[in-house]
Amino acid sequence: MTLSYVAKWLLLMPLVGAVLAGCGAIEPAPQVVPHASVTFLVTVPSDTPNDAVITVVSSHPSLGADTAPGFVLRRQGAGVYSGLVRLPVGTEVSFDVWQGDVWRPELSADGASMSRHTFTVEQGDMTVPVTVARWGEPGKGPTMK
């Protein structure tokens, strides 16, 4: 004796449910996190070589997660470097600026070490301007990835 057509479907429903649950068909949609375009605009001292590599090393994974090589900026002209990255709105970012080809740290005008630059990513596009007063001596840079 064979099962009726309806009975076959009723027995098949738990299997279909298990397959759909395993495929994630009933999981909630992923949360959408708004992002903003952040432009780093770095002005370097006049004695910086034209072929210098200027790097932002930051706490955020998109900017190196505090490891080298970080986020390499592009030369825009005499003494100006920039780079654009998308970051989640509301994220607090702290960073250092390095002359990355020789790992020279940014120093203040009086030669003291600079504290990290910090900003919070705002809604909409934003620019983070930095003016490097002078470079320190070449040395050990951030940990390499």
Residue 86 lies in a domain: yes
CA torsion 14-20-24-27 (nearest 10°) is -70
Residue 1 lies in a domain: no
Counting every residue, how long is the chain? 145
Residue 25 lies in a domain: no
Residue 15 lies in a domain: no
Residue 57 lies in a domain: yes
Residue 92 lies in a domain: yes
Residue 101 lies in a domain: yes
How many independent structural domains does the chain possess?
1
The one-digit pLDDT tens for each residue of the chain (145 residues) are 455 766 676 677 776 666 666 555 567 777 777 999 999 999 999 999 999 999 999 989 999 898 888 999 999 988 999 999 999 999 999 999 999 888 999 999 999 999 999 999 999 899 999 999 999 998 877 777 6
- Closest residue by Cα to residue 54 from 137, 135, 143: 135
Residue 17 lies in a domain: no
- The residue range of the domain holding 133 is 35-138
**What gap in Å lies between CA 130 and CA 127, rounded to an integer?**
10
- Closest residue by Cα to residue 73 from 129, 9, 4, 12: 129
- The residues pairing with 36 across neighbouring beta strands, listed in sequence order, are 87
Report the pLDDT value the prediction gives residue 95, as an integer from 0 to 100.
Answer: 96
DSSP 56-76: EEESSGGGTTTEET-EE-EEE
**pTM for the complete prediction?**
0.76
CB of 139 closer than 8 Å to CB of 94: no
**What gap in Å lies between CA 128 and CA 86, rounded to an integer?**
13
The CATH number of residue 113's host domain is 2.60.40.10
